[in-house]
Homo-oligomer: A and B are copies of this chain.
Amino acid sequence: MATQTLLGDETAGPEARAVFDDIRLKRNTDYVNNFWRALAHDPALLKAIWERLQQAMAPGALDPLVKEMIYIAVSATNGCSYCVHSHTAAARAKGMTPAQHAELLQVIAMASQTNALANALQVEVDERFKT
Contact = CB atoms under 8 A, between A and B. Distances in A.
B83 A41 contact: no
A79 B79 contact: yes
Contact of A112 (B74, B82, B131): B74
Given A52-B110, A107-B67, A74 B115 contact: yes
Contacts of A83: 111, 114-115, 118
Nearest to A62: B103
List the number of copies, as a whole number: 6
A25 interface: no
A7 to B, nearest CB: 12
Interface of A: 1-6, 31, 33-35, 38-39, 41-42, 44-45, 48-49, 52-53, 55-57, 60-62, 66-67, 69-89, 97-126, 128-131
